[in-house]
């Protein structure tokens, strides 16, 4: 009897975020779509997408990260232009309005310098998303950690593993979803890591105006 090779899963998907994998399983990212990975880092979340015929774009403030994803793209998806990958702060995305069917932002928003910076980044992610498009964000929040973290400034916390992070709270996220008039594609899902930090996944659909 023929069995599917389990070993091909890591070969195909690499180190993709498990919650992004969940969105793939739900068929929300498909061949031919334009997908921006905002704060793409090493590109672990776009490696598979490049090979799957997705029109991948990336943005990151780190020149080294963008050089690495350009090199990865030239090997895995040579038809993608190196210009798809840009060095920029997420507050200043050099893409047109409604350019992407999917915008990903994984493990970036808790590096915001302030609430204003956090909101400006989210506004940009929302601006470049097409109506009906999906915004997938994963970032640290206070959810489940209320009162257990060392606060050093408004919404800034010294995390048990060392750095100071910006942490959004649940009322703020609910207010944001309301203000953006977004549809929650998934309930807010939060994972507590070693009781030291919580990571929340926010998956939104941009409604067509007037719908």
Ligand X SMILES: C[S@@+](CC[C@H](N)C(=O)[O-])C[C@H]1O[C@@H](n2cnc3c(N)ncnc32)[C@H](O)[C@@H]1O
> Considering beta carbons, is residue 36 or 176 the nearer one to ligand X?
36
> Considering beta carbons, is residue 40 or 50 the nearer one to ligand X?
40
107 in contact with ligand X (CB under 6 A): yes
> Of the candidates 23, 68, 106, 141, which one interacts with ligand X according to CB under 6 A?
106
SS3 for the chain is CCCCCCCHHHHHHCCCCHHHHHHHHCCCCCCCCEEEEECCCCCCCCHHHHHCCCEEEEEECCHHHHHHHHHHHHHHCCCCCHHHEEECCHHHCCCCCCCEEEEEEECCHHHCCCHHHHHHHHHHHHHCEEEEEEEEEEEEECCCCCCCCEEEECCEEECCCCCEEECECHHHHHHHHHHCCEEECCCCEEEEECCCEEEEEEEEEECCCCC
Q: How far is the CB of 93 from ligand X (least distance, A)?
A: 9
Region of 60-68, 73-81, 95-103, 159-167 interacting with ligand X (CB under 6 A) = 60-68
Q: How far is the CB of 179 from ligand X (least distance, A)?
A: 21
191 in contact with ligand X (CB under 6 A): no
Q: How many residues in the shown chain lie near ligand X by CB under 6 A?
A: 16
41 in contact with ligand X (CB under 6 A): yes
Residues that bind ligand X (CB under 6 A): 17, 39-41, 44-45, 60-62, 65, 89-90, 106-108, 111
């Amino acid at each position: 009897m023929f069995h599917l090779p389990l070993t091909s899963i890591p070969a195909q998907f690499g180190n993709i975020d498990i919650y992004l994998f969940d969105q793939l399983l739900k068929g929300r990212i498909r061949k031919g779509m334009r997908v921006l990975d905002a704060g793409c880092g090493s590109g672990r979340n776009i490696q598979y997408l490049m090979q799957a015929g997705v029109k991948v774009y990336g943005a990151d403030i780190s020149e080294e990260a963008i050089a690495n994803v350009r090199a990865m793209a030239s090997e895995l998806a040579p038809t993608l232009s190196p210009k798809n990958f840009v060095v920029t702060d997420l507050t200043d995305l050099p893409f047109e309005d409604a350019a992407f069917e999917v915008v990903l932002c994984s493990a970036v928003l808790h590096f915001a310098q302030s609430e204003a910076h956090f909101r400006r980044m989210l506004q940009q992610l929302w601006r470049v998303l097409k109506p009906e498009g999906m915004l997938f964000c994963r970032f640290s929040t206070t959810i489940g950690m209320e009162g257990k973290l060392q606060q050093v400034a408004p919404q800034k916390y010294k995390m048990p593993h060392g750095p100071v992070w910006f942490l959004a709270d649940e009322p703020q996220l609910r207010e944001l979803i309301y203000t953006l008039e977004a549809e929650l594609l998934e309930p807010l899902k939060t994972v507590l890591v070693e009781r030291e930090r919580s990571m929340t996944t926010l998956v939104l659909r941009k409604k067509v105006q007037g719908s």
